[in-house]
Amino acid sequence: MSDIDSTTVTAPQRILMGPGPSDVDPRVLAALSAPTVGHLDPYFLQVMDELQSMLRQVFRTENELTLAVSGTGSAGMEACVVNLIEPGDRMLIGVNGVFGTRMADVAGRAGAEVTTIERPFGEVFDADEVAAAIEQTQPKVVGLVHAETSTGALQPIEEISKVVHDAGALLLLDTVTSLGGLPVEVDGWQVDAVYSGTQKCLSCPPGLAPVSFSPAALGAMDARKTKVASWYLDMSMVRNYWGGNRAYHHTAPINMNYALHEALRLVLAEGLENRFARHRRNHLALRAGLEALGIHYAVPEVHRLPQLNAVLIPDGVDDAAVRKQLLNEFGLEIGGGLGPMAGKTWRIGLMGAASTNRNVLLLLAGLERCLADQGISVDRGAGVAAANGVYAAQA
Amino acid sequence: MSDIDSTTVTAPQRILMGPGPSDVDPRVLAALSAPTVGHLDPYFLQVMDELQSMLRQVFRTENELTLAVSGTGSAGMEACVVNLIEPGDRMLIGVNGVFGTRMADVAGRAGAEVTTIERPFGEVFDADEVAAAIEQTQPKVVGLVHAETSTGALQPIEEISKVVHDAGALLLLDTVTSLGGLPVEVDGWQVDAVYSGTQKCLSCPPGLAPVSFSPAALGAMDARKTKVASWYLDMSMVRNYWGGNRAYHHTAPINMNYALHEALRLVLAEGLENRFARHRRNHLALRAGLEALGIHYAVPEVHRLPQLNAVLIPDGVDDAAVRKQLLNEFGLEIGGGLGPMAGKTWRIGLMGAASTNRNVLLLLAGLERCLADQGISVDRGAGVAAANGVYAAQA
């Protein structure tokens, strides 16, 4: 019958040190392939309840409306925007990378009157400039990216949140790359709508988007005069399935929710603070190793994400050739630059299960080999030695 | 650190004979848990290419724009609607169940001027009434549901498609429950936009939505004056990732695509015609068994879906109690009624891997037991005997 000769899936075993997806623990893959049950099966309802409880712990929130949207991180972004925005609402968005740009696009499609403030890639916003822009535009919602996956920059939130709430606005935050890798304090920072992805520091395959909404965000949703633009992402219906009367909305991705359940269990079993410290430790070792190889960061030290190391590609080095060699010779994936950083930076992820001393040392060893093939002279073993030095000092 | 005592995932082994998800072949679960690779990994690009090729065969189309949307079936519905509809466009929708109602809701949110034609649950539309409605409303798009999961009714398409195209409109078709279980002829019927789900007759866990768009649909997209309302589902960008220049849009759900790849491979290895015949054979056996137990269909014979048997709950039988007993004593899931059919019908799925003689016989045996517990007198073993009789006659 068939003219296709596709074989079964024979995926290679990579080491995922790009901007995501990250390495997945075998226990998460095992949960992913547990028997599928119905979306109203009592067992699945229990999985959903536990999942919500664990998500609240990871987001550090008491928000009742905390769940996993049935799409990837960008669906989480769209869910947050379209549920808060009605046509004509004003939204202020900080753009200092690809994902702020994306948020502005999503908001415009939802009918928002979008104002952006902009910073070059790699920089972050301070509270004063956000306050000035709020005063000018009087937005309903202010959208920011906590951890810009395209640049490796970490946006401080606490002070800005005060400015946003003093002006009576809602704060919407992208934590796709931060959640599980460094502190995300949804209640502590008074974040009103937050989304993340599963495939970064939570180390679950891509496919779901954890979200959480504050009581103030719920109030804004309840006060809507128009339907949410997206039926699929309409939280007024989705929340009835995750809580309340379990009314059927759409068929949940059962197995993906199993995987996220297990991934969150592993995050909490390790402990959030331990996990953040691990990400920091491996980042410091990688940094020392890269510097010993003559590779420098694209982001000022104070704003660097430990889990996503954006570094400048040394002059004369062929970006694509190095990434291809790392993949083919070592099964090792790192990311290229996005947007204006394409060809200029590498993005080296140390996210979740991929944030290990083994991966740091292997990458440095492999990179030394690739740089040598590119005719770049480096001290033999310098990267590995520097990283090992950091680990030794920490021990 | 954690105050949660969640254990690892311990999903029970169900037999899924509801309206979906259906039973998943162990080979599909194995593919689902293959190692995660990056969304631009050469291996994943190959998986996507093969997936598209297999989807074209299953949809029976040459449409280039054929891929899996990163969400469940309802995201596929929304993808088809929002890419074809601009604010103010007229859309005609046939409503004879929950999913036609949903399509009208989705289209309204996208800004369509929606006109519905309606039929009671379980009935279908004929070409004349569609032609009359088209003449009155001059729609850009006509939306119909091929297999109404809420009612078990099969909508004939061929004649209606002619009427739609004679009027210069586009035909949008929901094949969530039909694809892989009975013929879906996207090119043969000139369907312009079609969506399905993975968790019905393709027997893959829920999480992706196969879609396909005709050249005429692409023309309508290219002629848009406004952006697609949903960034996440905007095919003008999604298609560049699946084909063309592989431009990053969103991170694809890698492992779910592995699973769909394997599910489609199994569909094509069986052969579509063999698969349809199997669905038909088990339906006939189930029907004979149910009738012997005094259980009657809610849909006239000529429009019955072989893969979704909507039957009337006998008088005096406690709907929830029977479904609970089937689940708890036999690990067997059947579905209740949706919308106006709640409490009135059961929906018994024989979809994909769940369409087997074993499942038919087990359900009839279990149902006999439950009916007896409900005080309904049935001839002992009558259901199983009748089904076995059909299998014997077919052999």
Predicted pLDDT of residue A394? 87
Q: Are B36 and A21 in contact (CB < 8 Å)?
A: yes
- CA-nearest residue to B60 within chain A is A2
| A333 CB within 8 Å of a chain B CB | yes
| B340 CB within 8 Å of a chain A CB | no
| A349 CB within 8 Å of a chain B CB | no
Predicted pLDDT of residue A340? 87
| B339 CB within 8 Å of a chain A CB | no
Please provide residue B329's backbone torsions phi and psi, each rounded to the nearest 5 degrees. -90, -30
Architecture of domain B272-394: Alpha-Beta Complex (3.90)
Predicted pLDDT of residue B394? 87
| A13 CB within 8 Å of a chain B CB | yes
User: What is the domain partition of chain B in residue ranges?
Assistant: 26-269, 272-394
| Rounded Cα distance, A153 and A146, in Å | 8
Confidence of residue A336 (pLDDT cuts 50, 70, 90): very high
Quote the tokens at residue B41: 């990994």
Residues of B in contact with A272 (CB under 8 A): 1
Nearest to A74 among B23, B102, B250 (CB): B250
Nearest to A38 among B21, B31, B271 (CB): B21
Confidence of residue B395 (pLDDT cuts 50, 70, 90): confident
Encode A5-38: b = buried (16+ Cβ within 10 Å), e = exposed.
Answer: ebeebebeebbbbbbbbbbbbebbbebbbbbbbb
Compute the average pLDDT of residues B61-76: 98
pLDDT of A344-394, one tens digit each? 999 999 999 999 999 999 999 999 999 999 999 888 999 999 999 999 998
Helix (H) or strand (E) holding B78: helix B73-84
Q: Are B268 and A205 in contact (CB < 8 Å)?
A: no
Cα-Cα-Cα-Cα torsion B333, B337, B338, B341, nearest 10 degrees, comes to: 180
pLDDT of A129-146, one tens digit each? 999 999 999 999 999 999
| Rounded Cα distance, B198 and B180, in Å | 10
pLDDT of B350-379, one tens digit each? 999 999 999 999 999 999 999 999 999 888
| A183 CB within 8 Å of a chain B CB | no
How far is A125 from chain B, CA to nearest CA, in Å?
A: 25
Q: Are both B26-269 and B272-394 of the same fold?
A: no
Within 13 Å of residue B316, how many CA atoms lie on the same side as its CB? 9
Mean pLDDT of all residues belonging to chain A: 96
Q: Are B11 and A3 in contact (CB < 8 Å)?
A: no
| Rounded Cα distance, B278 and B194, in Å | 24
Q: Helix, strand or coil for residue A314?
A: coil
| Rounded Cα distance, A349 and A306, in Å | 9
Predicted pLDDT of residue B339? 87
Nearest to A205 among B2, B4, B36 (CB): B36
Residues of B in contact with A31 (CB under 8 A): 8-9
CATH T-level topology, domain A26-269: Aspartate Aminotransferase; domain 2 (3.40.640)
> B273 near B261, Cβ under 8 Å?
no
Examine the pLDDT at A2 and tell me if it is beyond 90: no
| A197 CB within 8 Å of a chain B CB | yes
CB pairs under 8 A between A and B: 272
Q: Looking at residue B301, what DSSP letter applies? A: G
Q: Are A21 and B254 in contact (CB < 8 Å)?
A: yes
Cβ burial of B375 (10 Å; 0-12, 13-18, 19+) is exposed
Radius of gyration of chain B (CA): 21
Closest CA to B78 of A281, A19, A93, A71: A71
How far is B136 from chain A, CA to nearest CA, in Å?
A: 27
| A222 CB within 8 Å of a chain B CB | no
| B38 CB within 8 Å of a chain A CB | yes
Residues of B in contact with A7 (CB under 8 A): 265
pLDDT of B293-346, one tens digit each? 999 999 999 999 999 999 999 999 999 999 999 999 999 999 999 988 999 999
Q: Tell me the ipTM for this assembly.
A: 0.97
| Rounded Cα distance, B221 and A198, in Å | 31
Compute the average pLDDT of residues B149-178: 97
pLDDT of A177-226, one tens digit each? 999 999 999 999 999 999 999 999 999 999 999 999 999 999 999 999 99
| Rounded Cα distance, B59 and B65, in Å | 12
Predicted pLDDT of residue B300? 92
Percent of chain A at pLDDT > 70 equals 98
How far is B107 from chain A, CA to nearest CA, in Å?
A: 9
> A220 near A170, Cβ under 8 Å?
yes
Nearest to A21 among B30, B228, B251 (CB): B251
Taking the CA atoms of A151, A156, A161 and A163 in sequence, report the sign of the dihedral they define. Answer: negative
| Rounded Cα distance, B283 and A302, in Å | 66
Q: Are B71 and A71 in contact (CB < 8 Å)?
A: yes
Give ∠ CA B26-B207-B73 in degrees, rounded to 5: 120
Instruction: Write down the pTM of the prediction.
Output: 0.97
Q: Looking at residue B335, what DSSP letter applies? A: E
Confidence of residue A3 (pLDDT cuts 50, 70, 90): very low
pLDDT of A31-46, one tens digit each? 999 999 999 999 999 9
For an interface test with A, the pick among B1, B9, B264 (most A C-beta atoms closer than 10 Å) comes out as B9
The amino acid sitting at B129 is E
Predicted pLDDT of residue A5? 56
Beta bridge partners of A308: A305, A349
Q: Are A1 and B265 in contact (CB < 8 Å)?
A: no
Q: Are B230 and A230 in contact (CB < 8 Å)?
A: yes
Q: Are B8 and A73 in contact (CB < 8 Å)?
A: no
Predicted pLDDT of residue A395? 81
Nearest to B272 among A1, A3, A53 (CB): A1
Quote the tokens at residue A85: 């925005």
Encode B260-283: b = buried (16+ Cβ within 10 Å), e = exposed.
Answer: bbbbbbbbbebebeebbebbbbbb
Beta-carbon contacts of residue A284 (< 8 Å; ≥ 6 apart)? A306, A390, A394
Predicted pLDDT of residue B1? 37
Quote the tokens at residue A253: 């991705």
- CA-nearest residue to B274 within chain A is A1
| Rounded Cα distance, B13 and B31, in Å | 18
Examine the pLDDT at B5 and tell me if it is beyond 90: no
| A75 CB within 8 Å of a chain B CB | yes
pLDDT of B94-119, one tens digit each? 999 999 999 999 999 999 999 999 99
Q: Are B229 and A228 in contact (CB < 8 Å)?
A: no
> A251 near B71, Cβ under 8 Å?
no
For an interface test with B, the pick among A203, A228, A232, A241 (most B C-beta atoms closer than 10 Å) comes out as A232
